[in-house]
Structure 1
Amino acid sequence: MANDGTPMVPFGAPDGPADAAVQRHWRMRAILSRTGDHTEKFLVQSGFDRGPWLAVAFAAGIGAWFLLAMPWQWIAGLVIALAAAVFSHAIWRGAEGRQHLRLAVGALGLAFALGLTTVWVRSEMVGAEPISRPMLMKLDARILERTEQPSEDRVRLVLAARDAEAGRAIRVRVNVPNDHDMPELREGARVELRARLMPPSPPLLPGAYDFARDAWFKGFAATGSLVGEVRVTEPAEANDGWLAGKQRDLSAHVRSRLSGAPGTIAAAFATGDRGGIAKADEEAMRDAGLTHLLSISGLHVSAVIAAAYFLAIKLLALWPWLALRARLPLLAAAAAAGVGIAYTLLTGAQVPTVRSCIGAVLVLGALALGREPLSLRMVAVAAGAVLVLWPESLVGPSFQMSFSAVIAIVALHNSQPVRDFLAPREEGWTRVMSRRVLMLFITGLVIEIALTPIVLFHFHRSGLYGAFANVFAIPLVTFLSMPLIALALFFDLVGAGAPFWWLAGKSLEILIAMAHFTSSQPGAVKLVPHMGLGIISLFVGGGLWLALWRGRARLLGLVPAAIGTIALVLSPVPDLLITRDGRNVGITNQDGHLFVLRGAPGSYSRTNIVELAGSEAEAMPIEEYPGARCSADFCSIGLSRGERDWSILVALNRQRIDERQLAAACELSDLVIADRWLPRSCKPKWAKIDGRFVAENGGTSVYLADERIDTVASAQGQHGWWKTDAEKY
């Protein structure tokens, strides 16, 4: 009893609903407090570096905009991110020892919101509404860009024109055969022509290349081909397209000095012009894991800038007066930066080149100031600059592969074991060179591991021997081919470049032979079916965790990577693949063989079906499926999947048949597939994928064991570039 006679209540015991609610509140606060303490301790011990993580959060905001389907979801994402930033500051403003946590949550929330806003604004500003339907259009247009593609026997023109039907300005891309080309067709010229135009195409199948999205951000309302002749009504002015003209002239000069495949590869190294590379050579480079050598990226820009820096500092050192009065590293860095920027502009200023140029300029600045040149903060600044200018590049393979490789290299060489391994010591040159070669192989292997999930996600195939090929190819290109090309171009000024061109050609012949040899080995290429967003997110998240944290905490990144690997191995292969027009169908059996309805070998549709089915065996006609019963109009195929047998009815053509017979056949089938609109009387037991279905949903993948149908439409949402065929027409 209390002194006043009231009964004593044990401390902590609830005295009714209000006290119970208060206790729950305090317990929750205690849990949150302990969680905050543990998080703060982790951030301090693991070396939380805000710069790289801000770039990651900014990129995550961009990715969320692409992933989320509806505008209200984009707004909700903004509200949640901003609320997290505001509440973190309000809750932990006066908390002792919570500085890292408050800054982390607040800054990352703001960066996420900024990324989502940036890509949304970019889409609204540059997105081009596609033309309403395929049409033959007469164009009075101005040439904006010209791209020569000798390997395809054509020239590509980007034109500014007017849509006569909608009465609006449009940007279109038109292919012109070489026999209709003329020197007057260059940037700035005004032309009249007739072209067969198509709206930019959506993905052929779930997981295939999305040209419509790419065209949306490039401003293309249509693409097509020339019909008839081109007439130049107003020639280009002298200064129009000057830089692009110089790039083409340099490419033509290189190809004139080196004939055949070496000449086309040399032109790609010198100017970034890949239009002349034969398809067989490009495929060999891809399957050997050497495609990155053809794209002007970090390797090329770094080699050019490093050579310019070395040459500049050596030449400046020959002037004693200047050497005694100026910091030569600063002057050499400025000269090398100028060379790097010029090379970037000359090669077209593509995303990997811009990223590499920004990173190289930052490295030069660090060298000039005596700071650490190789850091993840440098990579974060370069990534942020690219994403601010081109946020849509985040979802493309070029950005992902470029930055994945650089992050892997920087994280590897900044790790303490590698620093210790490469530290100077008293030993012979043979041991030094052996250690460098071993480190080169390890670096190539780490890059291959980092890039493989991204390559499989975008291209559904990967070269398995890339790490081995790169050990020889990268030094060959960096220290032999590119310097020889540069020397050949320099000595061409006085007409003495022939010996250097001959040596450069021989080095490139070795590179091409290496690519063909590697790609032709058994098991050199691995095909996998479409990897879902969840799996690639596990790989990316795990890789970033491994790269950006320090100490033992970074090893936690192996957990999502391991889960992603298991999920990838266990990913089911689609049982049926139906293209966006319904005309091509692929069916896989339990032995991994693929059977297709239409499409010649090597055609775009068949290639996509083969890759997305992950089938390495030669595709066979659908009529040869074991047990198939085919007539002139339909094939009936039985499949055993899961715990049941499935009956599939596939239309072979568009011939009309008796509706009652069709209805009876549909009633006996679980799934009916046709490229024409089937009558409503056709009612299969499970699903009907006909012309109406694909017009509304696009390409389709069917997983019978899971009773699941994936469509292109399910991943598009209300983004501006997606319109169903039913909406178009």
Structure 2
Amino acid sequence: MAIAIRQFPIWADLAHRWRTLRPALLAWAKEDAKQWPLVIPLAFATGIGAWFALPVREQWLGLIIGAVLAGMTLWMLATRWPIAARSLRWCGAGLLIVAAGTLTIWTKSELISEPSLASPWIGTMEGEVVQREILAARGMERYVVKIAQPEGLPSKVRINVPFRLVEDKTTTVFTGDRIRLKVRLMPPGEPALPGGYDFARRAWFAGLGATGSALTAPDVLESSGQGGIASLRSRLSQHIQRQIPGSEGAIAATLATGDRGGISEADAEAMRRSGLAHLLAISGLHVSALIGAVFLLVLKLLALSPTLALRWRLPVVAAFAGALAGIAYTVFTGGAVPTIRACIAALLILLALVLGRDPFSLRLIGFAALVILLIWPETLVGPSFQLSFAAVVAIIALYDAPLMRRWSAERDEKQFGLVQRIGRFALLLFLTGLVIEITLMPIALYHFHKAGIYGALANIVAIPLTTFVIMPLEAMAMLADSIGLGAPFWWLCGKAIGLLLSLAHFVSESPGAIIRFPAISISTYLLAIVAGLILFLLRSPLRLLGLVPAAVAVILMLATPRPDLLIANDGRQIAVRSKTSGSGDFVLLKPDSESFTTDMMREQGAFEDEPVGLDQWPEAQCSREFCSFVLTRSDRDWVVLVSRKNEYVPKRALAAACARSHIVIAGRFLPGSCRPRWRKLDRRYLRQSGGVAIYLDDTRIDQVADSRSDHGWSYDR
């Protein structure tokens, strides 16, 4: 064999390289093997994700049984093959944990299962208000009501009550009140378009069987006495907004109470486009800032006493005070899942500090993720869980890199001037923000179909401004209010928030502030997730292998086609991708319609321009009843006929128009004599398919119906 290798210099060179690299590869693999505890949360999350991805109950059961049998087989093989025993046990344990994850989410879904409303319903209902939210920017209040009567309705519903119905009422509704009102209820809606937001899934796990709007003002049958934390939170929110008017006051109320209802849509969109929307969600930044401030304050105050400093473990006492403050803040702000998640993670960090362990480790973050998934397994598929944990993992992995550890290590800063220290801090913050932006971009593109570009730069100013200026000023203002001296602090706080809003609008209005992508396939998204796990969870140079799936994922994202036609499930709104220069690329059947469906079409189609009306589009020929236009794709002309109204059209004329068209779209039932050359998408078809996306280059139709499954929230039509 050696003689054969020497006869071929290339093979000899490869053999030499392998002998040289083999010890290094083994050492790298041994170093990465220390991350084995992370297999537990990853395998558990895989089981949960598989349950959401697999559509049929038999597949869920098959996955559980198969994973258990395979896991037990690997454990038995480990006793016969001692050389590979450790690896076999890891793989076997991972498969068993996958089965546990699937069983956990399936069990929870069955335990909380509540029948949803079968069809629209109008009538008078009574119930107890279990949650109340004031959405001042949208001109309404929102109640979650536990229904007492009549029978046949879901046990819990969500109702929007316009301000115009309650502005003349002398009695205000509070959480815990028993009310009666006339409402129009609808079943929780499935995605408006393929790959769109699935409110029905969220409603299922929230226990909401219907949503709707009030037709009359609510009558309070039994008052709760305006007590409770929710009422206190509402009064504090109103107090803050009286001290600071406008959106500045609404943001100040958000930071203190979690009430986001007063923020105008323009300001909220500016915060999203500038990458600062995370500041409006009570999550890790706010909870950690509060706990850190309380921890340091208690520690410094107690250290002033030599007796206490000698007899007590002051860090433990300070950690306990910080934990109490974090829990109280979480409860007071409404106990939303992202806030609870951030609080749990912060408490685990405090526990690590008390025990003398490294609080910023991937193992600790993995344990926090496992705890959260055990309690709320459904959060795995939501953007909040993915964004928050991806950001934390990226930060820890960044500062765990050897080069970054050396550069960011503590050092004697006295030898540097103030400008150098500030510059170093700003550069570290920028690098951190840049890594976070790159990490979160696939998640944002998959869930929201858009991502900010300048978020890393904006956060260099916004995070210190919020953490070290706005939040302390607001805390001091509320404390000073107790003695009537809060006005100066409120004024300064309002100016600081105004600066934050100015920054958000400046960044969001800058050229290229956001990038838009059409709906990305789940396979491409999972490839990006796998790439991130390899890059961030491994510690050896083998992590660079993650660049390969990352590059493939980027190429696939860039190659994702945009739909040529988007059709709502009722056929009353369509979007067309135009290639005509000078008329924009976003053509709508009803351009004046500002609705959730229209917004979804803008996102799903990655449309940047303002919409052009179909009847104003130069390429379309419109009559009173129909519009007709031609789309040229791949050197083929497609004639599209779109119904505008529900007026009667002579049967023979309609049949002739259909025969000349490849695609016919209508929000009404069309007769059998209408036979287009390719597809007829009328009310009958859309009732079964749901929203539709058409790709003419591939001659492909994606339907919402393709994602329907045996899950409890999925429509069965």
Same fold (TM over 0.5): yes
Could you tell me how far 1:99 is from its partner in structure 2? 4.2
Counterpart contact for 2:708–2:715, Cα < 8 Å: no
Give the whole-Å Cα distance in 1 for the aligned partners of 2:57 and 2:278. 37
Q: What is residue 209 of structure 1 aligned with on the other side?
A: 197
Q: Which amino acid aligns with 1:447?
A: I
Distance 1:558 1:175, change over 3 A: same
Q: What is residue 273 of structure 2 aligned with on the other side?
A: 287
What pairs up with 1:169-568 in 2 under 5 angstroms? 169-181=154-166, 183-236=171-224, 242-426=228-412, 427-430=415-418, 431-568=420-557
Counterpart contact for 2:327–2:343, Cα < 8 Å: yes
Q: Which amino acid aligns with 2:681?
A: I
Q: What secondary structure sits across from 1:228 in the alignment? A: coil
Give the whole-Å Cα distance in 2 for the aligned partners of 1:163 and 1:38. 71
Counterpart contact for 1:625–1:637, Cα < 8 Å: no
Could you tell me how far 1:665 is from its partner in structure 2? 2.5
Q: What is residue 32 of structure 1 aligned with on the other side?
A: none
Query: What is the aligned counterpart of 1:671 among 654, 663, 673?
Result: 663
User: C-alpha offsets along residues 685-728 of structure 1, whole Å, 9 cap, x if unaligned?
Assistant: 2222111111011000001111111011111212221225xx4x
Counterpart contact for 1:69–1:717, Cα < 8 Å: yes
Q: What secondary structure sits across from 1:545 in the alignment? A: helix
Could you tell me how far 1:52 is from its partner in structure 2? 2.5
Q: What secondary structure sits across from 1:522 in the alignment? A: coil
Could you tell me how far 1:528 is from its partner in structure 2? 1.7
Q: Which amino acid aligns with 2:686?
A: V
Counterpart contact for 2:126–2:149, Cα < 8 Å: no
Give the whole-Å Cα distance in 2 for the aligned partners of 1:143 and 1:177. 16
Give the whole-Å Cα distance in 1 for the aligned partners of 2:234 and 2:259. 8
Q: What is residue 654 of structure 2 aligned with on the other side?
A: 662
Q: What is residue 130 of structure 1 aligned with on the other side?
A: 116
Counterpart contact for 2:478–2:486, Cα < 8 Å: yes
User: C-alpha offsets along residues 273-313 of structure 1, whole Å, 9 cap, x if unaligned?
Assistant: 11111111111111111000010111111100000000111
Distance 1:95 1:700, change over 3 A: same
Give the whole-Å Cα distance in 1 for the aligned partners of 2:480 and 2:90. 55
Give the whole-Å Cα distance in 1 for the aligned partners of 2:134 and 2:404. 45
Could you tell me how far 1:648 is from its partner in structure 2? 1.6
Give the whole-Å Cα distance in 1 for the aligned partners of 2:657 and 2:158. 45
User: C-alpha offsets along residues 640-699 of structure 1, whole Å, 9 cap, x if unaligned?
Assistant: 212422222211222222323323332332221111122223222222211111101100
Could you tell me how far 1:522 is from its partner in structure 2? 1.4
Q: Which amino acid aligns with 1:642?
A: S
Q: Which amino acid aligns with 2:633?
A: R
Give the whole-Å Cα distance in 1 for the aligned partners of 2:625 and 2:226. 61
What pairs up with 1:52-201 in 2 under 5 angstroms? 52-162=38-148, 164=150, 166=152, 169-181=154-166, 183-201=171-189
TM-score (normalizing by structure 1): 0.90
User: C-alpha offsets along residues 315-345 of structure 1, whole Å, 9 cap, x if unaligned?
Assistant: 1112222221121111111111111111111
2:610 is aligned with 1:618: yes
Counterpart contact for 2:128–2:148, Cα < 8 Å: no
Q: Which amino acid aligns with 2:667?
A: D
Q: What is residue 694 of structure 1 aligned with on the other side?
A: 686
2:715 is aligned with 1:711: no
Give the whole-Å Cα distance in 2 for the aligned partners of 1:323 and 1:312. 12
Query: What is the aligned counterpart of 1:576 among 543, 546, 565?
Result: 565
Q: Which amino acid aligns with 1:553?
A: L
- What is the root-mean-square deviation of aligned Cα atoms in Å? 2.1
Q: Which amino acid aligns with 1:684?
A: P
Q: What is residue 29 of structure 1 aligned with on the other side?
A: none
Give the whole-Å Cα distance in 1 for the aligned partners of 2:37 and 2:342. 18
Could you tell me how far 1:39 is from its partner in structure 2? 11
Deviates more, 1:583-592 or 1:454-463: 583-592
Distance 1:180 1:643, change over 3 A: closer
Q: How many residues align?
A: 686
Gaps in structure 1 of 5+ consecutive residues: 1-36
Counterpart contact for 1:142–1:159, Cα < 8 Å: yes
Q: What is residue 685 of structure 1 aligned with on the other side?
A: 677
User: C-alpha offsets along residues 546-585 of structure 1, whole Å, 9 cap, x if unaligned?
Assistant: 1111111111111111111111111111010001111111
Counterpart contact for 1:63–1:394, Cα < 8 Å: yes
Query: What is the aligned counterpart of 1:596 among 588, 593, 601?
Result: 588
Counterpart contact for 1:127–1:218, Cα < 8 Å: no
TM-score (normalizing by structure 2): 0.92
2:576 is aligned with 1:587: yes
Q: What is residue 32 of structure 2 aligned with on the other side?
A: 46
Give the whole-Å Cα distance in 2 for the aligned partners of 1:196 and 1:599. 27
Q: What secondary structure sits across from 2:482 in the alignment? A: helix
Deviates more, 1:416-425 or 1:229-238: 229-238
Query: What is the aligned counterpart of 1:632 among 624, 628, 637?
Result: 624
Distance 1:321 1:627, change over 3 A: closer
Distance 1:617 1:599, change over 3 A: closer
Gaps in structure 2 of 5+ consecutive residues: 1-22
Distance 1:39 1:651, change over 3 A: farther
Give the whole-Å Cα distance in 2 for the aligned partners of 1:529 and 1:690. 25
